[in-house]
Amino acid sequence: MSPAFGAMEVEHYSKGVLLEPFVHQVGGHSCVLRFNDKTICKPLIQREHQFYETLPTEMRKFTPQYEGVVSVSFEEDEDGNLCLIAYPLNGDHDNLENLDNSDCEPKSKLLRWTNKKTVLLENEKLSKEWVRQHRKEEKMKSHKLEEEFEWLKKSEVLYYTVEKKGNVSSQFKHHNPWSMKCHQQQLQRMKENAKHRNQYKFILLENLTSRYEVPCVLDLKMGTRQHGDDASEEKKANQIRKCQQSTSAVIGVRVCGMQVYQAGTGQLMFMNKYHGRKLSVQGFKEALYQFFHNGKYLRRELFESVIKKLTELKSVLEKQESYRFYSSSLLIIYDGKERQEVAVDSDPEDLEDLSEESSDESAGAYAYKPTASTVDVRMIDFAHTTCKYYGEDSVVHEGQDTGYVFGLQNLIDIIKEIRDESSE
């Protein structure tokens, strides 16, 4: 757990924390929000909540750290701007002592995320004509939002130029299309249900990107089957079709989303799930190559760490009896921040932090000499996970999740191929 914090910060949280869009979400349909720099939150799904509270010890290093549950309400500020505010659950204030909340945005610092809420107080001061016009404008705005979502579906691979000046990571919030899409849809769902419900439970999870200055994130949908045991016949057929028409059926893994910083051009590249579904096995391999390439050279120093962690995860999952991780994803994350190039014949002190092996394919007077970079490999999204220990499940599986393990082995093999081919 995070370090304890003081009484003033507990009181600060009890008054409400403004939730912001999580700008590094590259896949999935569930909205992920930023609670603070080190913590994110997402709508609580009972099955996923149960998984985090009961997961085996040996799997914990491969999943985000679970940090509890909060109550989230749908509110508006004095200007009518829509906001999502997190509060501690009733009677749960004692648990706040273990949560580092020092960098949360207070409720008083409300941000304007969307257009104003459509709440019309039809009293004597509002003419019927004004009301009709206002509704017309709101309908047009809603239609425009739907058009933007359709555009996002069609624009499956996007490039955005990042300003050279200023903090690169801070500019993600202006560009990540998938994060914006999920956030807008979440607000729309809660807005539509506002009359009937205004309190939602969200789970708090570790922000896996917090340690990186410019996170490069690959979201992979794992396994040969995606539908849960409780899926309707329509949902089951739809998921089977998606697997059959993608690399999921062939190699047990497909691209669900990606964001990569291209140091060579100063651009952010985003690839969404619609593009990932269309990839052939060769296309999947090329997408992986692109993920590990920064526009200047292939980040070969990352391969051994990724392969080692994937192999360890595979060994852990092979020992898990009865678990099925249907529709879950695997994240691979590394820092796209490029170290400053230093002349090879520079003072030794300038080179002391650089590794021995050059990975600059053009070499020349300057050579990039990477350090052993940190790569993270984590499983996420357990809304359809099942296990024999979940007593209420009607279907009980035996043995390991062969579809997931099959996908992991193929992923390892493909990364090894890229590594070996790049060193020839």
In sequence order, what are the beta bridge partners of 82? 76
pLDDT tens-digit series, residues 239-281: 999 999 999 999 999 999 999 988 888 888 889 898 999 999 9
Asked if residue 277 lies in contact with residue 242, where contact means CB atoms within 8 angstroms, the answer is: yes
**Looking at the predicted structure, is the pLDDT value of residue 18 above 70?**
yes
Using a pLDDT cut of 70, give the percent of the chain over it: 66
pLDDT tens-digit series, residues 282-314: 999 999 999 999 999 999 999 999 999 999 999
Phi/psi at 89 (nearest 5 deg)? -65, 155
In sequence order, what are the beta bridge partners of 103? none
pLDDT tens-digit series, residues 206-223: 999 999 999 999 999 999
Task: State residue 297's pLDDT score.
Answer: 93
Task: State residue 263's pLDDT score.
Answer: 87
pTM: 0.76
Task: State residue 29's pLDDT score.
Answer: 74
- CB neighbour class for 242 (10 Å; exposed up to 12, middle 13-18, buried from 19): middle
Number of other residues whose CB lies within 10 A of the CB of residue 143: 10
**Range 399-418 average pLDDT:** 97
| Residue 5 pLDDT class (50, 70, 90 cuts) | very low
**Looking at the predicted structure, is the pLDDT value of residue 173 above 70?**
no
**Range 14-35 average pLDDT:** 84
**Looking at the predicted structure, is the pLDDT value of residue 105 above 70?**
no
> CB-based contacts of 219: which residues, under 8 Å, 6+ apart?
26, 27, 28, 255, 256, 257, 258, 329, 330, 331
**Range 314-336 average pLDDT:** 96
- Using alpha carbons, list the distances in angstroms from residue 350 to 49, 84, 195, 284: 48, 47, 62, 39
Lowest mean pLDDT among 84-93, 112-121, 395-404: 112-121
Per the rule left: phi > 0, alpha: psi between -120 and 50, beta: everything else, 399 is: left
Residue 287, CB-side half-sphere exposure with 13 Å CA sphere: 29
pLDDT tens-digit series, residues 340-373: 544 444 444 443 343 333 333 333 333 333 444 6
Task: State residue 402's pLDDT score.
Answer: 97
The most confident of the ranges 188-192, 233-237, 261-265 is 233-237
Between residues 45 and 183, which one has the greater pLDDT?
45
Task: State residue 264's pLDDT score.
Answer: 80
